[in-house]
Structure 1
Amino acid sequence: MDFRIELIPLAVQDVDRSVEFYGKQLGWSVDFDQTVSPELRFVQVTPPGSACSICFGTGLDMMPQGSAQFIQVVVADADEACALLRRRGVECSDVDEQPWGRFVRFDDPDGNRWALQQIVRP
């Protein structure tokens, strides 16, 4: 039996700002953006090459107001990921060299934290 993670919710305060950040600034695919009513809007965004998407919106009640996520994503090259983020105007850390991987970190406008990890094989 397979267990595939396909959707991770994020708490955001301004849905339009988050669509702008993830879709335009990061360049991730905005797969779905549907306003069902003034109280309910669902947005789904997918990083390039990922089988797992993130979602956010209004009226979803998936996460407590004011909460934040920490999500780690594997990339092929931490230096390339860092350069891409900076070209797109995203503030990020320098590459952090650890024995178990190379990491670049950034936050979204709502304090959700991301780590991009290049796995280091001995």
Structure 2
Amino acid sequence: MDWKLELVIMPVTDVDRAKKFYADQMGFTVDVDFSSGPSFRIVQLTPRGSACSITLMAKPEAAGSVQALHLVVSDIEAARAELVERGVDVSELFHHGDGGAEVTGPHPERIKFGTYMSFSDPDGNGWLIQEVPAE
């Protein structure tokens, strides 16, 4: 039996602001924007090429509590350039050196899962992006 991760709930303070960030700046596809009255709204978005989506839910008390979600890209330098062009405040590239210390710059051998960058959404929910070069 397969167990597939399909959806992650992303708590935010303002659904419209978060939708604009993920759709316009991150380039996620808006799959669903459903409202059932003034106090219930679901906005589901999917990163390009992903089988897993996020759902934005207004939960101000939990906004910013989701940390270290990972996205994987084949060319992290191109991905970073795209995000910077879209206005995302993304970190410099980094890798882990001796003892796990964070070192600025791509992994010197460009190994799979070796180079990272990070960003946060407007509520402080944190993401990591890893490079897995195409073979």
TM-score, normalised with respect to structure 2: 0.80
| 85 and 67 in structure 1: CA distance in 2 versus 1, 3 angstrom threshold | closer
Unaligned stretches of 5+ residues in structure 1: none
> 2: CA distance between counterparts of 1:75 and 1:39?
36
Q: Which amino acid aligns with 2:25?
A: Q
Q: Report the more deviating stretch, 28-37 or 92-101.
A: 92-101
Q: CA deviation at 1:46?
A: 0.3
How far apart, in 1, do the equivalents of 2:3 and 2:85 lie?
Answer: 35
Unaligned runs of at least 5 residues, structure 2: 97-106, 108-112
- In structure 2, the residue matched to 1:96 is 94
Is residue 2:78 matched to residue 1:65?
A: no
Count of matched residue pairs: 118
Which residue does 1:111 correspond to in 2? 124
TM-score by length of 1: 0.88
Deviation of the 1:104 alpha carbon: 1.0
Output the CA distance in 2 between the equivalents of 1:17 and 1:64.
Answer: 16
Structure number with greater Rg is 2
CA distance in 2 between partners of 1:102 and 1:65 (Å): 29
Q: Which amino acid aligns with 1:23?
A: A
Which stretches of structure 1, 4 residues or more, deviate above 4 A after TM superposition? none
Q: Does 1:40 align with 2:28?
A: no
Q: Is the 8 A contact 2:9 2:57 kept in 1?
A: no
Instruction: Kindly provide the CA deviation profile for residues 41-89 of structure 1, in whole angstroms up to 9, marking residues without a partner as x.
Output: 001000000000000123xx7x963452120111111111111110101
